Amino acid sequence: MAKIDTLNLATLGQIFSLNGLYMLGYSWLFGMAIWVTFFGGIIALRALPRHQFGTLQHRTFPVYFVISMALTSFLSAKWVFSHPDVVTYITSPSHADVAQLYALAFAFVCQATNYFAVGPLTSKTMFQRHKLEKEEGKTYDQAGVSAQMKALNARFSSLHGISSLANLGAVIALAFHGLWIAHAGVEGY
């Protein structure tokens, strides 16, 4: 028969721990990544005119990337603190605890790349394209756009693709970490 716990002030006090905070942080991070990657943008794209959608993405993605980097940094620090063998075996990614740190670090690098480099370049290109659309009186996808518009389209597509791949890489790394902590737990030694 399963052990039955009774809720009281003492047992409620026990649920507040660094491991509990770790799980809340991971849940927030992974849930946010799934929402932003697979749902939020698609809903906004369908609900808003294209220029408003672009402005919304320009404003929300930096917040998403900063929160992602902060949470991933916390998770990484807590992981190393709880799993001191990570420091000893840092160059051995086949060591399970090290692989988890690598996954978190990879997610951080993907989000930092988007925040510091790819995201700003994508936004800059998007706004240049919006401006050129007004000047030419044509949307970016109409026939007969200028060579400058075609170049901006190519640049935007490339940057958007890189950003999407980096974000997807972070989601996959976080899913790997989530599957691991579901299997082995957060607790170190």
Q: Which residue has the tokens 């670090």?
A: 105
Contact 69, 109 (CB under 8 A): no
For the chain, which residues make up each domain, given as ranges?
A: 18-184
User: What stretches of the chain show up as alpha helix (H) in DSSP?
Assistant: 9-14, 18-35, 41-47, 50-82, 85-88, 96-113, 119-136, 147-184
User: Residue 140: which of 122, 161, 157 has the closest Cα?
Assistant: 157
Indicate the DSSP class of residue 142: S
Question: What is the full per-residue pLDDT of the chain (189 aa) written as tens digits?
Answer: 678 878 888 888 888 899 999 999 999 999 999 999 999 999 999 999 999 999 999 999 999 999 999 999 999 999 999 999 999 999 999 999 999 999 999 999 999 999 999 999 999 999 999 999 999 999 999 999 999 999 999 999 999 999 999 999 999 999 999 999 999 999 877
Q: How many CB atoms lie within 10 A of CB 8?
A: 8
142 burial via Cβ count (<10 Å: 0-12, 13-18, 19+):
exposed
Q: How many CB atoms lie within 10 A of CB 107?
A: 30
Q: What pTM value is reported for the model?
A: 0.93
